[in-house]
Structure formats: structure tokens, C-alpha cells
Structure 1
């Protein structure tokens, strides 16, 4: 009954946030949360953070889980006050709408703190695909074409390997959640897919899949405890929208960074806590390489631009022979 009720109420709440002016639904400060594993999961994981902030900061906070489009538009139109989203969406919203990161997530895997994340390019165990090049002519699925860990990180890896995914895949489709990507690969609906680090491990821990049924293509061996195919980037930020007073943003940042792993908010979100904002310039670099959003047409401002020619109109990047 609760699940059915949530399925009805959350879309209505999101609609109210998007279409009503300012904070018309209440005087609460609204935190938009990217629901990349679904609305119900996001609600369960992040409502305790709103309760924690309400107790620590002295103002009322509420969490509203949203998909990519709803979150982006809510920030753009000033309908929310804070937001928690992937690193790439944050960088884009910071550039276009003056949002600022106030804290960076410290994730957790088996009690080990993780301050970075990446993407895993996966296939079913018995798949003939062994390398990135083997995806030519194959069906590929991702969480969303604008999702950072769900697609853009993997897209960079394909481009830098000499493969243009938009032109050389048989098909490139998206689905709303990382879990759906995993199920599509397992059920044969796609030859491969990309998911954020930790997706396979969490689904296996939840009893949803057997991790041995999958392989990670071009798996990086760098000591990071979660299987991944790509470079690693700074974890998700909590960000304040441009209209939020500095004093309030600073108070929220202070409360978040004071959160300990043993407190209910951290336990519910399955995280270690938060730290001061990370340097998100590596994310900007990735977005330039894949020519995403406001970074389309831009070149890298550092010496790496000498060895990577940026793709134009879907064209694949080329590397010099020295590599």
C-alpha cells in the first residue's frame, strides 16, 4: 500500500515543485535529489538527511526525488533551494545557473570511504564481447544519454579508444535506472551497458543479481574496490542554488560535513559522510572531450588538448601515435 501511495504522491509533489512559484507549497527548504535508482529508493535513502538538517540547521528541509529532466529544470527555474546530483549535471548547472557545491559525498563500500566514482561497462558473462572495439554493430543501453556515470564517462572511454558510439553502435538506448540497465543486459535486451560504480555490487548485496553472471569490459586495476572501466571522478556534490543566502548554504555545509557514519542519515544513505567541495575540473574535462551541453565546441584548455582532437558533430576523437 505504501509503495502504491508513494508512486502516486511523489509525481504530484514533483509537479508542485516545478510549477508553483518559489516555495509556494511550504516554507521548507527543498532539496532535489537525483533518483537514479528510482523514486522509492531515493526517498528511503535521503529523507533522513532532510530530518538531520532540520534538526541541525534550525530550518525545515524536505527531500524531493526527481529524474534528470525534472531536477535540471527545477534548478534552472529556481523552484528548489539545494540539490544532490551527479558531478556532470552539477558542473553544467554551475556554469549556466551559478549553482555552487557546498559539500562532496564520501561514499561507502564495506566500511571503506570512497571519494571518487566511475562507470562500469558491462556484458553478460558468456558474451563474445571482450574489448571496447567489439561493441561495433552491437546494441548498447545506458541510464540516460546525459547521465554522467550512466553514459558520459563510458562515452569518453569509447571515443578515446577510437570508436564513435553514436555512429558505430547498432543502437544506443536509455532507461530510467541503473538497475534496469543491468536487467536489460542480463535478459539479452542489449549486448552491453554502462552503470555507475557500485551498481553491480549493491544489486548483488540486495539479492537482485549474481555478480558472477556479468563481466566488466576494460576493467581498470588501480586499487579502487568497485569494478570500473573508466577514469574516476569526484563524487556527487550537494549544491546550493544561486538564490540561497551564503549564510544558509554555509550552515548546511557545516552540518553535512559534521555528519558521522554512525548517524541515521548516513546509515540510510549508505554513505560515510561529506567533505568540503572537491575540485570538479576533471569533470569539465570529460564534458569537453565528449562535447556535452554547454561544452560542445570547446577545446581542452591544457596541454592534453595537444594530444586529443575534439570530436565534432559526433565525430570520434583521435590520439597521436605517441600513445
Structure 2
């Protein structure tokens, strides 16, 4: 009987280890709209929180550009990704089933800022004509697509009215380019601009805001459509449970620049898709 008990105990240990190995880590990525070190800093406490809520390891998978996130979701190499509205549209069209779970409350009314070097003589949108201008990434919602869309609504064709267009690759890089005079003006995410000013990482004696866009839907957390439905629900519940009154949660929300997270749906991004098609940015 003792040998039998030992055998049962050993088998239970083996099965327990096997079960633990069967719980695969959640692989998370994000569009590189800020520097890699900043993305890692913002994600670290959120990753730890998700591990606690989901009962599994959470791995952050960095990528080099926006397109790489879309490809990773489509190939099943990441499970959850922080996407801009335009990147979500691209992922949805490519995969057919990428699903936005939650967004920050702020993302339902997001805006972009147009900024100019103070020595450029630029004070209004019409002053941008004939100047050197920087967008962020070509796939950025708040750093390219929507600024380009609103320029067109104000009679400015980004393809012909600027002396030169450059893509900085990230919002903080755009602010740095304008402040240094590398370009005379640019457009970036309003939230990043506010953070740069708050943290004194941009010299407001050298760069100023000349215009803020109307609001639009932007960022969200998207899962690959083939991810287990029960796990999708757990992920959404974890984000929705973040409470600013809880000190541990407040740190996470502050780093995410969110007052709270709310549910979202694909239909919220139809306006983004329409703007992208009008701009010729979707094939």
C-alpha cells in the first residue's frame, strides 16, 4: 500500500507539472509609438497585474514597427496587442477576426496636436503650406492618418502642399524634431504631447501647439480572434476591474494615461477605416 501511495503521489506531481506547463504564457505586444524603454516602463506593472488576474505568465514581445504588430497577430505570435485605431483596422482586415476588447475612456474622444517651431513663423494651419512637416509612423492613427484627414478637411493636401514630408517613427521623436528645427512643424498624439510637457521633456520655448484636431476613436487592446474565448473574457474583465481608487491600480492607470478602461467594439473604428480609404492608405 505504501508503494501504491508513493506511486500515486509521484503521478500526481507529474500531472500537476504537466498541467502547469500546459498553461501557455500570454504574449503581449504594442505599437512602438514611443521609445522602447518607455514602452517597457509603462507595461511592467500592467504585466504583473495581468499575471495575477489570469494565473499565467505574461510576456512582452517588442517589435520594430507598426506593421510588425499586425503581422504578429495574424501569425498567432502574439495574443494581445496595444493598437492605434488605424493599426486595429489593418489587423482586422488582415486577420478577419482581430477583436478590440477595451479602450481607455479617453480613447473615445482622442485628439492630435499640430506643433510648430517657434522660429518658423507658423501660427495657423494655412501657414504650413510650403513648410517641412513631420508625421509619426505611416501607420499611426494620431500621428499620421487623422492629422492628414483633418488637413484635407481644412484645404491642405499633405501630398502636394508641403515642401517636404518626413516620418519620425514615434510621437516623442516628432516633438524632438520640431523643437530642434529638423522640421518646421509636425503632428502627434495629444496625450504624448501633454506627457512630454508635464515631464519637461519638450522645451516649450522652442515648440508650440498651433491647432488641436476634432476628436475621434483611437487606441485599444486587441486580441487575436483565435484566442480562447474564456481567456478573452478574463482579459477584458481584468482591464475593466482597474479602479483608480485602488493605489496599486492607480499606478497602472497613470502609466497608461487612463482614467479607466471601458469596453469597445469594431464598429467604433469604422470612421478610422473610412478616413484611411479616402486618404488612399488602405489597399
- Residues 69 and 96 of structure 1, relative CA distance in 2, 3 Å threshold: closer
Residues 102 and 240 of structure 1 are in contact (CA less than 8 Å); yes or no, is this contact kept in structure 2? Answer: yes
Structure 2 match to 1:92:
90
Alignment counterpart, residue 135 of structure 2, candidates 137, 142, 156: 142
TM-score normalised per structure 1: 0.73
CA deviations on 1:116-139 (whole Å, 9 max, x unpaired) are 212111102232223323222211
SS of match in other structure, 1:201: helix
For each residue in 1:236-286, what CA deviation from the matched residue of structure 2 results, as whole angstroms up to 9, or x when unmatched?
A: 111110220211111100111011123143243332231111522222232
State the number of aligned residues.
253
Query: Structure 2 length as normaliser, TM-score?
Result: 0.83
Contact 2:67 2:139 in 1 (8 A): no
Using CA pairs under 8 Å that are at least 6 residues apart, name the structure with larger relative contact order, 1 or 2. Answer: 2
Q: Structure 1 residues 200 and 212, CA, compared in 2 at 3 Å: closer, same or farther? A: farther
Q: 1:238 aligns with which of 221, 231, 235?
A: 221
1:252 has 2:235 as partner:
yes
Distance between the aligned counterparts of 1:64 and 1:267, measured in 2? Answer: 22
Aligned to 1:122: 115
Separation in 2 of the partners of 1:277 and 1:146?
A: 21
Segments of 4+ moved more than 4 angstroms = none
Unaligned ranges ≥5, structure 1: 1-25, 108-113, 220-227, 295-323
> Which residue of structure 2 lines up, in the alignment, with residue 78 of structure 1?
76
Aligned partner of 1:284 among 264, 267, 273: 273
Find the counterpart in structure 2 of residue 60 from structure 1. Answer: 57
Give CA deviations for 1:107-162 in whole Å, capped at 9, x if unaligned: 4xxxxxx6421211110223222332322221111111221111111111121222
Which structure has the larger Rg over C-alpha atoms? 2
Q: Counterparts of 2:257 and 2:128 in 1: how far apart (Å)?
A: 34
Structure 1 position 172 matched with structure 2 position 165? yes
Q: CA deviation at 1:212?
A: 4.8
SS at structure 2 position matched to 1:233? coil
Query: Who is 2:28 aligned against?
Result: 31
Structure ranking higher in helix proportion: 2
CA distance in 2, matches of 1:235, 1:86: 5
RMSD: 1.9
Unaligned 5+ segments in structure 2 are 1-22
Equivalence for 2:182: 189
